[in-house]
Structure 1
Amino acid sequence: MGTRAIKQQVLGLLQQDDLAGIETELARLQEKELVNALFSGICHSAEQIRWHAVSVMGSAVARLAEQDMEEARVILRRMLWSLNDESGGIGWGAPESMAEIMCRHEGLADEYIHMLISYMRPDGEEECQDGNFLEHEMLQQGLMWAIGRLAQYRKKHLLVRGVEHDLPPYLESSDATVCGLAARAIGLLGRTEGIGRLRELAKKDQRAVRLYNQGNFSTVSVAELAALALQKLQEVG
């Protein structure tokens, strides 16, 4: 089957509702062929195709890593490059896909999670630069989702790098999705940084946020996400 035909097959399957069925069907393809097609999916304008592509990218690259770790690293580096200003691209879907991959493969998380975190941080002084701050709000949306996703599977990796201190500024975002997903990530991390702002948001912020979780879509308010975060913090505390 040619590259174009594989891409059409993959995008067609990603439109379906059953994520588990999609993953089972696409697992029959060679990982490298599948991943190349999925790059068209993670930046697709259709919500269901885009998010299903992110999920399948995670499982596909994790399988690839078990066969050839260096090939999996190439995929992660390709995503990192897409977020670089010099790439000429924008990097749609890259933070989300990187997170999904790292949730499914601890070895890749060990190697690359610090790079994903760097996109939350501004550049430092020249001799100790470690930040690659993403200014575009749509990329910040993906980044906040990514941190929340990793908080479910790689919490220790995040906390040891102090991510809880990077999240509160995003609670001030004028973008509802960035703000809401930052609140969600704080709750999942179980740290109280930003708790005062969370209380404010839980009282009054009714802006809508579209939320994706492993094949399921929902629309919630920023207030609901902040309230849920506060509940989780109370449970931890």
Structure 2
Amino acid sequence: MGTRAIKQQVLGLLKRDDLAGIETELVLFQEKELINALFFGICHSEERIRWHAISVMGRAVARLAEQDMEEARVILRRMLWSLNDESGGIGWGAPESMAEIMCRHEGLADEYIHMLISYMRPDGEEECQDGNFLEHEMLQQGLMWAVGRLAQYRKKHLLTRGVEHDLPPYLESPDATVCGLAARAIGLLGRTEDMGQLRRLRELAKTDQRKLRLYDQGHCSTVSVAELAELALLELQEVE
């Protein structure tokens, strides 16, 4: 089967509702061919295709890593390059896909999680300050989702690198998705220092009607910033 035909078949499967069923069928593809097709999916304009591609990418690259770790590293480096200004691209879906891969493979998380975190941090004057801050709000959306996802599987990796200190500024974002997903990540990481800001977001529920789409456990739902702030407070067991 040619590359174009594989791409069309993979994208067709990603349109389905059942993620488990999609993964069962896609596992029959050779990993490299599948991953190349998934790169078209992770930046797709259709929500279901994009998120299913991100989920499948995580499992596919993790399987590839078990066969050939260097080839899996090449995939991660390709995603990192897509976020580089010099690449000429935008990097849609790259932070989310990197997070999903690292959730599925601890070895890749050990090697690359510091790079994902660097996109939350600005460049500094000191040699050790090697931030790669993402200014584009849509990329920040993906980054906040990525941190929340990693908090579910690689919490220790994140806390060891102090990522909890990078999240509070995102609670001030005018972008509903960035703000709401930052609140969710804070709750998942157990950062109690930010409860005051989370309470403020929760109390704004009457006047702040900002909504966002949340992908979790294979499904998308519409939630409000205030709802995610309240859920974060519940995680911290501090809802009053």
Structure 1 residue 62: deviation in Å?
Answer: 0.3
Of 207-216 and 130-139, more deviation after overlay is shown by 207-216
Q: Deviations over 1:73-110 (max 9, x none)?
A: 00000000000000000000000000000000000000
- Residue identity in the other structure for 1:209: L
Name 2:225's counterpart in structure 1. 222
- Residue identity in the other structure for 1:100: E
Q: In the aligned structure 1, how far is the partner of 2:93 from the partner of 2:217?
A: 15
Are positions 1:208 and 2:211 aligned together?
yes
Name 1:125's counterpart in structure 2. 125
Are positions 1:12 and 2:12 aligned together?
yes
Name 2:33's counterpart in structure 1. 33
Pick from 226, 232, 237 the counterpart of residue 234 of structure 1. Answer: 237
Q: Deviations over 1:159-208 (max 9, x none)?
A: 00001100000000000000000000000001113221111100113310
- Residue identity in the other structure for 2:220: F
Once the two structures are superposed, the pairs formed by residues 161-172 of structure 1 within 5 Å of their partners are 161-172=161-172
Q: In the aligned structure 2, how far is the partner of 1:56 from the partner of 1:2?
A: 21
- Residue identity in the other structure for 1:131: G
Q: In the aligned structure 1, how far is the partner of 2:224 from the partner of 2:69?
A: 40
Q: In the aligned structure 1, how far is the partner of 2:152 from the partner of 2:217?
A: 12
- Residue identity in the other structure for 1:155: K
- Residue identity in the other structure for 1:17: D
Name 2:183's counterpart in structure 1. 183
Of 152-161 and 126-135, more deviation after overlay is shown by 126-135
Once the two structures are superposed, the pairs formed by residues 102-181 of structure 1 within 5 Å of their partners are 102-125=102-125, 127-181=127-181
Say whether the 8 Å CA contact 1:16–1:22 is kept in structure 2: yes
Structure 1 residue 37: deviation in Å?
Answer: 0.3
Structure 1 residue 127: deviation in Å?
Answer: 2.5
- Residue identity in the other structure for 1:212: Y
Structure 2's unaligned 5+ residue stretches are none
Aligned residue pairs: how many? 235
Q: In the aligned structure 2, how far is the partner of 1:193 from the partner of 1:222?
A: 19
Structure 1 residue 45: deviation in Å?
Answer: 0.3
Name 1:84's counterpart in structure 2. 84
Are positions 1:194 and 2:221 aligned together?
no
TM-score, normalisation: structure 1: 0.98
TM-score, normalisation: structure 2: 0.96
Q: Deviations over 1:32-71 (max 9, x none)?
A: 0000000000000000000000000000000000000000
